[in-house]
Each structure stands twice: as structure tokens, then as C-alpha cells.
Structure 1
Amino acid sequence: MDVPILVLTEKGGENDEVEALDAGADDYLRKPYSHEVLLARLRALTRRSTQPADRTLRIGDLWLDPARHRCGRGRRDIALTAREFAVLAQLARHPGQVVSKPEILDEVWDMAYTGSPAIVEVYISVLRRKIDAPFGVCSIETVRGSGYRLVAVGG
């Protein structure tokens, strides 16, 4: 999400500010604050959010460009369907961390989906055939009973 987040609060503790920033806030402003300071911080957040940024996700030599919906390994593009891209992007946003099937389902499929959670396994298998097998690598690991982990290989 590219929406800047400014936390306005009465909480004044240092731990509260750290917690908010670690949770994803872009700025933190304690009450009381002046109207001018609030507007200046909003302008600064807007400037930062409109500056072009490379949002490409890189895990080893694997890369995903969400803005252009492109994926590749090294200099080679890899064609993915929208759903395959979404599953891989979910893993790429958490490199080296285990992402559970329910987390993938919640992020990639809509709430109306009533099919089998095994659909995630199908997409993981397809992704392995597309992003790993042709390059002789194994970047999507299965963590039995927990989910999947995307790890850096190559590059």
C-alpha cells in the first residue's frame, strides 16, 4: 500500500511512537500540535509518497516489479498469471519468513472463496515449475505443517 500514514495521538511515550512506526506508520505527531505543523507534516508525507521509487522486490536473483506486474530471474523475464504473481508477491514481501496457507488465501483469494485450501499447493507447484525448475534452483521451501518460505538463491 502506498498511502502514507500519520499517527495523531495523545499518547506521549517513546515506546508508543516506536510501536506505531514499527507497525507501518510513516510519521507520528503527539497532541497538542499546531495546525501549521500538522499541515507541514502532511505536505512532507505527500511529497515522499509521490516521488518515484523502485518498488521492485528482490530475493537473490529473483525479482518482482508489482507496478509493472513483471517477474524474472536475473535478466530473464518469467511470465506469470495474475494469481501466480499475487502468490509469489505475498511470499516475496516476507523473504525468509514462513507464510501460512491461510495467510496466502486471505491475501490472494477473496473472502467469497469456498474452495479447498489445497489450491495454494497447486499454485506453489506451478510457481516452482516456472521460477525454479528452469534455473536449477529451489527458492520456495515447504515448511511442513506451517507454510512456505521464499529464500534467496542465485545472484
Structure 2
Amino acid sequence: MAQRSNPLSCILYDNRLTGPNFSDWLRNLRIVLNLEHIGYVLDSKIPSALPPEATKKEHDTLRKWHEDDMQAKCYMLASMTNQLQKQHEKMQTSFEILSHLQELFGNTPGRKGKEVALIASSSSGKTKKKKKSNKKKSSFAPSPSGRVGKKS
């Protein structure tokens, strides 16, 4: 059987998960997995065991889920630093890995995880959250005549 190759998998190789780049890495991972039609496993927990009277179709569906999840898990592990690989390689599913990564680096609404920009205060030695400025920045745009002027 010929080995399938995902032409987009190079974006995961070029943008390995290091921690601070979690959001970008996750977006790239979803692109690659969706091309393979296996992105659904990131959002689903491991299916429960089938009852003894399960149909062949149910067994085939469960087998396919396990195969798809293993492929997704391999993409995930192959595209992270060695330290993160060691931390996650024994986890059962891609969903479990992703859940743990979200705890570590944040990617849930209202939470920024370790990606929150921190600055060290030089006088007290304490770490503070970086505050955003609410000042309006003036913007300039070319006028119809081609001259640059202040935008109203």
C-alpha cells in the first residue's frame, strides 16, 4: 500500500510547538488534520467500548476513530519540542494531549495561560502584567490626490 503524504505537514515541521506559539501551532495543526479528514478527533473523547451486540459498521467506525486518533497524535507529537514530546507521549488520545496543552498554554475564552505578556519591574523585582494603552493612535491615509494626510 502506498504511503499517503500530506503536502501541508511541512507547516508543522517549520512551526514546532514551543509553548508561546501554541495558538499558531494549533491553527496549523487543525489545517493539516482537516486536510486528512481527521480533525474531528481533537474535539472528541475516546469512544466507549462497544456492547457485544454491536454491528460490523459500529466496529468499523470505532476502529477508524482509533486509527485517525493515532495519526493525529503522531502529527502532534512530531511537531513539538522534545521536552513537550516526553511530557505527552504516554497520553492515550490526541484529545487528552490537546486538553493538557490548553491547560499549560491557554486557548480558552477569557484565559491567556502562560502567553500573557509579562514585564519585570526593575525597581521592585516583581513581575507585572503588561497593560495596554487606551490612547487613540492617529492614522494617516493617502488622499485622492495621492498626498498623505491625517484621516478624519
- Is TM (by shorter chain) over 0.5? no
Higher strand share: 1
Which structure has the bigger radius of gyration? 2
Higher helix share: 2
